[in-house]
Structure 1
Amino acid sequence: MVEETPDNVEDAGYGIGAASRRLGVPAPTLRTWNLRYGLGPSRRTPGGHRRYDAADLRRLTEMKRLIATGLAPAEAARLALALPPPPPAATPEPTEETPADAPETGAPPTGTPATGTPATGTPATGTPPTGVSEAGPRRPPTAALARAALVLDSHQVSGLVEETLARHGVVWTWERLLLPVFDAICRRQDDTGAGIDVEHLLSDRVQAALQRRARDVPPHEGRPVLLACAEDEQHSLPVHALAAALGEVGVQTRVLGARTPYAALAHAMRRLGPVVVFVWSQQAITGDTAPLAALPRLRPACRIVIGGLGWQGEPPPGVVRVSTLPEAVARITATLA
């Protein structure tokens, strides 16, 4: 029998495996931070399992950031534990399109700091991307998508993803629907050891939908944006999400995908002369920033942007780090402008 999936997939919190993947911090390190500094999960399930909630992840993200700046772990933990809570987001007045109990439209998911870019995937001008409905925000179909994935209903998964993309655009769908459902599936893997097939089917259908939107950009003159994963980084779905989000605002991209050797990336840079190169690292083992300094310096100049929680330490001079999909879109479109 398939487990029921709650409407809000973040209600149960995050197991240590899911928190590790989300933060890019190894699970043994999280256990050490809990034992030594008290930076541990603060929630318990009815069955007695400990879970990290949104506030825990926020403190751990700050801990990781402070250590990356060179601060001693004990001092970083002291500052992370003293981190003030974020200001409450403004709640829109309920309307017929927005139920009173609907999630706040401006709040990105746990672990993705808010930016000045609208969460609907719109460019800075406020004009909706091509093909995106101007109707007001609605509750994302997280429970329906999770149930369809759990029973391996690829047709239903594709339909829900395509419908939400068409209505709300890539950024809204990624942050409000896809990330929460993937987190729920990963938590189920942590608890039961099962669900890899579910994750793979969902990833396949999401990637197919995102690639279709990225291909909708008509070819035009101008330098493209080059997107790739770091060498040995196999998690490429965020790169496809960025390509699709850029496609909505008319930006041409070239996607090299997973596990791109830096030599191959350098070769592609010389051949294409991109205006921006984006490199994704999700796991700490792929997040060495040193090879970025050896990428070719092009003329005209090329901006290097990196994203993902895998990156360790400060990036080389001139390399820009972004934290969220909206921030990546905003940074790249600003460079193009």
Structure 2
Amino acid sequence: MGEPTAREAGLGVGAVARRLGVAASTLRTWDRRYGIGPSGRSPGGHRRYTPADLARLEVMRRLILAGAPPGEAARTALGVPPGEPAPPRAHGAGGHRLPLTGTGAPAERDGERTARVRGLARAVMAMDEGAMSAAVRSALRRDGVVRAWDGLLVPVLVGIGRKHAATGGCVEMEHLLSEVVLRCLAEVPARRPPDGRAALLACAPDEQHSLPVHALAAALAEAGAPAVALGARVPAGALYAAIDRVGPHAVFVWSQTGATGDPAWLADLPRTRPPLRALAGGPGWARPRLPRTVGFVTTLAEAVAELTATSH
């Protein structure tokens, strides 16, 4: 069957969001920022996604989950002819895959950004804890959590993951950098939180890679949104109990590896009044099996936006 004509009805943003497992707000952002949006029209003149649009969006989603910045993923996706398969998803080794991408690096010259990434990478390779701490603190002060994560920390973490995949080494470097980043994130000053319930942040049961959860907690604190971070390896029963005790407005659960990504237990999250907003993030989740009541976010900035929007 051919592509729909401009006057044939396609899919609206809500249907596409459900099909791809991303938030509708994310699709609108991709359309606005990167020009990867609906190209069809309904009989009533409303914009609709065609099968070719869906194929491009799937390419973009896979590339982002593999570690590409959204802008780069969009450029690649827009260059993929309709009907061609998506590029293969890149993998690192074990827990060294990309932790969590964001919306792009800080607005600065490429040379400056590259120099900062290389400077931190050299400090990591030398296991110079003092230089690493100084570089991370400087980026957090200068750019804020989301931009520092996107523009500095993620590129270096990805680089370490690639070295590990190629050599089997660098584990000690990744551990030291993670400890430095955790300490620096804990130092991020929090704005006075608004009145309202907190968001509850946790890793899936047996998931030990908690750095993205702590980055999200720091970004929310910076935005003045209350949050409670439970960290790594939170059993389902413990998360249920925390929901009952904290009474959060939302819960975010991270899965880094496929071994921790069975989402069946998310269907049993306690029901609250008003209803709890449930979000999942991370490359480990078996996304086609996520309950319909659980949204999925692919970027740090998107997670912050979703959780701050529902905090009142």
TM-score range, shorter chain: 0.5 to 0.7
- d(CA) in 1 for partners of 2:270, 2:151: 37
Unmatched runs of 5 consecutive residues or more in structure 1: 1-54, 66-77, 85-109, 121-135
**1:81 and 2:84 aligned:** yes
In structure 1, what is the equivalent of residue 127 of structure 2?
A: 152
Is the contact made by 1:292 and 1:316 (CA closer than 8 Å) also made in structure 2? yes
- d(CA) in 1 for partners of 2:214, 2:228: 10
- d(CA) in 2 for partners of 1:194, 1:179: 19
Is the contact made by 1:137 and 1:168 (CA closer than 8 Å) also made in structure 2? no
- d(CA) in 2 for partners of 1:80, 1:311: 26
Is the contact made by 1:203 and 1:237 (CA closer than 8 Å) also made in structure 2? yes
Provide the aligned C-alpha RMSD in A.
3.0
Q: Secondary structure at the match of 1:277?
A: strand
Q: 1:172 to 1:61 in 2, by over 3 A?
A: same
Cα deviation per residue 1:224-257 (whole Å; 9 max; x = unaligned)?
Answer: 1110000011110000111111111101111100
Which of 284, 306, 313 is equivalent to 2:258?
A: 284
In structure 1, what is the equivalent of residue 213 of structure 2?
A: 239
Q: Secondary structure at the match of 1:205?
A: helix
Q: What amino acid sits opposite 2:203 in the alignment?
A: C
**1:203 and 2:182 aligned:** no
Deviation at 1:278, TM superposition (A): 0.4
Aligned length: 226
Q: TM-score, normalised by structure 2?
A: 0.65
- d(CA) in 2 for partners of 1:197, 1:183: 15
Deviation at 1:193, TM superposition (A): 2.2
Alignment of 1:265-276 (within 5 A): 265-276=239-250
Q: 1:79 to 1:285 in 2, by over 3 A?
A: farther
Which of 147, 152, 164 is equivalent to 1:177?
A: 152
Q: Secondary structure at the match of 1:304?
A: strand
Q: 1:114 to 1:193 in 2, by over 3 A?
A: closer
- d(CA) in 1 for partners of 2:304, 2:161: 26
Q: TM-score, normalised by structure 1?
A: 0.61
Is the contact made by 1:59 and 1:80 (CA closer than 8 Å) also made in structure 2? no
In structure 2, what is the equivalent of residue 249 of structure 1?
A: 223
Is the contact made by 1:59 and 1:81 (CA closer than 8 Å) also made in structure 2? no
Is the contact made by 1:227 and 1:257 (CA closer than 8 Å) also made in structure 2? yes
- d(CA) in 2 for partners of 1:278, 1:79: 34
Q: Secondary structure at the match of 1:178?
A: helix
In structure 1, what is the equivalent of residue 35 of structure 2?
A: none
Deviation at 1:272, TM superposition (A): 0.5
Which of 146, 154, 167 is equivalent to 1:192?
A: 167
In structure 1, what is the equivalent of residue 38 of structure 2?
A: none
Which of 93, 97, 108 is equivalent to 1:137?
A: 108
Q: 1:80 to 1:281 in 2, by over 3 A?
A: farther
Cα deviation per residue 1:54-110 (whole Å; 9 max; x = unaligned)?
Answer: x9x957927x99xxxxxxxxxxxx9773459xxxxxxxxxxxxxxxxxxxxxxxxx9
Which of 165, 175, 178 is equivalent to 2:140?
A: 165
Alignment of 1:28-47 (within 5 A): none
- d(CA) in 1 for partners of 2:294, 2:86: 27
Unmatched runs of 5 consecutive residues or more in structure 2: 1-55, 67-80, 88-97
- d(CA) in 2 for partners of 1:205, 1:114: 20
Cα deviation per residue 1:161-195 (whole Å; 9 max; x = unaligned)?
Answer: 00011000111111111111011111112222221
In structure 1, what is the equivalent of residue 291 of structure 2?
A: 316
Give the share of equivalent positions with the same residue, in percent. Answer: 45
Deviation at 1:300, TM superposition (A): 2.5
Deviation at 1:322, TM superposition (A): 0.6
Alignment of 1:298-337 (within 5 A): 298-312=272-286, 313-337=288-312
Q: What amino acid sits opposite 2:274 in the alignment?
A: P
- d(CA) in 2 for partners of 1:79, 1:291: 37
Q: Secondary structure at the match of 1:158?
A: helix
Is the contact made by 2:264 and 2:289 (CA closer than 8 Å) also made in structure 1? no
Q: 1:80 to 1:184 in 2, by over 3 A?
A: farther
Higher helix share: 2
Deviation at 1:112, TM superposition (A): 7.5
